[in-house]
Amino acid sequence: MNRNALFLFFFLALISAINAMPHQFYKRTTEFKKCQPPGNDVEVTRLKIRVVPDPIVSNQNATFTISGTAKVDFPTGSNTKLSITYNKIGGIGPVIGEPYFVDFCGDGSPCPVKKGDKFHRTVSAKAPNLPTIYSATILINVPEVVYACAIATVGI
């Protein structure tokens, strides 16, 4: 009888220990999704974004690798910008820190980008002091029109 009770005790303890361990380790990653700005008349290109470090660290440089296939012709010139903006949750809240802007066609990047062309840009920008929950938005645009957009919500 003692042997059966001892076996049962160890068996139940083993099941409890296995059940208490996490079954899978989840790495918090920054997942960018397509966004469609309201009132934008142009079909927006979906951007593929990879960021290092992931998750983004406050007050440190983050390197963004941005690529996609243009759904429309992107205009050339100094008006076409690639921007990175951090917002309080939802992408519509107040901006956190200063937005980062760079010429989309600057630094010898291949331009013009025509409809159907694949494009690839790598930019590095210092992240502001980020709260626990925020959104990061990446745009390729001229002042009135957005050509490509991606948004990630972090911390939810």
Give the start-to-end residue ranges of the domains of the chain.
29-154
51, pLDDT greater than 70: yes
Tell me the range of 16-20, 62-66, 132-136 where mean pLDDT is highest. 62-66
113-122: average pLDDT: 91
C-alpha to C-alpha distance for 62 and 40, rounded to whole angstroms? 28
CA 120 to chain centre: 16
**Residue 54, pLDDT score:** 84
> Looking at residue 116, what DSSP letter applies?
T
> What is the SS3 assignment for 153?
strand
| pLDDT value of residue 50 | 94
Q: Does 25 have pLDDT greater than 60? A: no
The mean pLDDT of 94-104, rounded to a whole number, is 90
* Best CA proximity match to 63, nearest among 32, 38, 93, 84: 84
The SS3 assignment for 32 reads coil
Q: Cα-flanking dihedrals φ and ψ of residue 41, to 5°?
A: -90, -5
The architecture of the domain spanning 29-154 is Sandwich (2.60)
- Predicted confidence (pLDDT) at residue 103 exceeds the cutoff of 80: yes
Residue 10 is predicted with a pLDDT of 61
Residue type, 74: F
Nearest C-alpha neighbor of 152 from the set 102, 63, 101, 84: 84
Does residue 30 register a pLDDT over 90? no
